[in-house]
Amino acid sequence: MTGLAIEERAVPQSDVPGERLAATQPFPTKPPHLTDRVYGRRAIDFTPDFARRL
């Protein structure tokens, strides 16, 4: 136990001959995503020039 909110879940396996995938992958259980979309100025802001173009 690491103290992190992670659980192992079964994932689909590949149909590619000879390819071996892990049977499970780690998934965070909390906190939930706040949003799955980011728009405009929040999307990226590397330079002031870039921000002026939005």
Distance CA 6, CA 27 (A): 5
Say what the pLDDT of residue 39 is: 65
pTM (2 decimals)? 0.45
Does the pLDDT value for residue 54 go beyond 70?
no
| Residue among 26, 34, 29, 31 nearest 8 (CA) | 26
Q: Are 6 and 29 in contact (CB under 8 A)?
A: yes
Say what the pLDDT of residue 16 is: 95
Does the pLDDT value for residue 12 go beyond 60?
yes
The answer to whether the peptide bond before residue 31 is cis (omega within 30 degrees of 0) is: yes
H helices then E strands: how many in the chain?
Answer: 1, 2
Task: Give 19-49 pLDDT, tens digit per residue.
Answer: 999 999 998 888 766 666 766 666 665 677 7
